[in-house]
């Protein structure tokens, strides 16, 4: 019969994630993980496998607890508001991160995915998930007139995904409110639909 674990798995994974997130995959050593989690090397190996397996588990947990959770919350809002709220939270998180850690997923895309096919597929799947969130919001907004039909939902969704990744990368080195909002603002303005245009015309009159 297996012995019950004598540690809080969530706390250990939180500590490991913070270590990977702040130092990167290559910059995180076994000693660093031991110091961060308070477990021995043997305990870490027995519980989670090697460093790569632990990194994968912490990345999956980050995606589900941060990105997927944000998508679920924003999906409950009207289409254009959902997209604006998604980006507003991204900017708020970037400005509220004193260590400039960035997005763990984007960090993985830049550091690990180019050299590891499994991670490349995993990261690509999450990016596709965010693109699909944008596409669904845009399609719904185009249907109700709140988002422009001047471009296809697919093209607008791809554009927003590129803006999102760009903001995440910029925030690592230039976490400046005016800069990040200046990148996102024009992208959101591009979405304005006929309802908004009609409202502006009425205001002018």
d(CA 79, CA 74): 9
- Using the predicted structure, report yes or no on whether residue 196 has a pLDDT greater than 90: no
User: Is 89 a domain residue?
Assistant: yes
The answer to whether the CB of 61 falls within 8 A of the CB of 14 is no
User: Is 142 a domain residue?
Assistant: yes
The answer to whether the CB of 19 falls within 8 A of the CB of 33 is yes
H or E segment and range at residue 30:
helix 30-37
Instruction: Express each pLDDT in 73-95 by its tens digit.
Output: 999 999 999 999 999 999 999 99
What's this model's pTM, rounded to 2 decimal places?
Answer: 0.87
- Using the predicted structure, report yes or no on whether residue 198 has a pLDDT greater than 50: no
Beta pairing partners, 147: 192
User: Is 12 a domain residue?
Assistant: no
Return the axis-axis angle of helices 79-95 and 117-144, rounded to nearest 10°.
140
| Domains held by the chain: number | 1
What pLDDT shows up at residue 200?
46
What pLDDT shows up at residue 41?
87
d(CA 17, CA 59): 7
CATH of the domain at 178: 1.10.357.10
pLDDT band (50, 70, 90) for residue 7: confident
Instruction: Express each pLDDT in 33-73 by its tens digit.
Output: 999 999 888 989 888 989 999 999 999 999 999 999 999 99
In angstroms, how far is CA 96 from the centroid of its own chain?
15
User: Is 24 a domain residue?
Assistant: no
| Start-to-end C-alpha separation, the chain | 78
Range of the domain at 163: 59-194
User: Is 201 a domain residue?
Assistant: no
User: Is 82 a domain residue?
Assistant: yes
User: Is 91 a domain residue?
Assistant: yes
pLDDT band (50, 70, 90) for residue 4: very low
User: Is 173 a domain residue?
Assistant: yes
């Amino acid at each position: 019969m297996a012995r019950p674990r004598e540690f809080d798995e969530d706390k250990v994974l939180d500590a490991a994630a913070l270590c990977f997130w702040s130092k990167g995959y290559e910059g995180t050593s076994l000693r660093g993980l031991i110091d961060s989690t308070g477990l021995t090397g043997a305990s870490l190996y027995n519980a989670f496998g090697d460093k790569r397996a632990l990194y994968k588990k912490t990345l999956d947990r980050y995606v589900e607890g941060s990105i997927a959770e944000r998508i679920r919350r924003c999906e409950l809002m009207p289409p254009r508001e959902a997209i604006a709220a998604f980006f507003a939270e991204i900017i708020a998180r970037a400005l509220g991160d004193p260590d400039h850690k960035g997005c763990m997923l984007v960090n993985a895309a830049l550091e690990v995915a180019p050299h590891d096919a499994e991670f490349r597929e995993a990261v690509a799947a999450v990016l596709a998930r965010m693109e699909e969130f944008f596409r669904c919001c845009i399609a719904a907004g185009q249907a109700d007139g709140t988002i422009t039909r001047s471009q296809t939902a697919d093209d607008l969704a791809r554009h927003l995904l590129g803006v999102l990744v760009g903001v995440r990368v910029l925030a690592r080195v230039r976490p400046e409110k005016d800069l990040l909002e200046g990148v996102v603002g024009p992208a959101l303005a591009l979405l304005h639909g006929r309802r908004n245009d009609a409202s502006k015309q009425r205001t002018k009159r």
